[in-house]
Amino acid sequence: MPAAFPPLLPAAADDVAATLLVLLPRPAPAFPAAAQAELRARLGPAVRVLCLNAADHPAVVRSLASGPLPACVLLHQGIELWQQSGLPTPAELTALVLARLGRPT
């Protein structure tokens, strides 16, 4: 279990959570469970983190990924805010998501 991180984005009652999709080429150790847990702990409840692999969800991954996998897509209220090919570390990804949501790091 990773060290406890205080959520950087507290979820307000009237705040609709953003969704970070992590698109993976297949169920592989490209984004280990420990890294997923760290990312979720860093972002807190204001950002849902969903990992989707192309083997189980090919249509969804094809419809969202505009480049090679792995890729990250940030959505808020159904609108794509950001997309990037590659998979940064949880700390780097947290900073990128916060920047896209206009929140300080």
Of 42, 60, 43, the residue nearest 51 (C-alpha): 60
Label the pairing between strands 47-53 and 18-24. Answer: parallel
pLDDT tens digits for range 18-58: 999 999 987 666 788 899 999 999 999 889 999 998 889 99
Identify the CATH homologous superfamily for domain 18-100.
Answer: Glutaredoxin (3.40.30.10)
The mean pLDDT of 92-103, rounded to a whole number, is 91
Kind and range of the H or E element at 74?
A: strand 71-76
pTM for this entry? 0.80
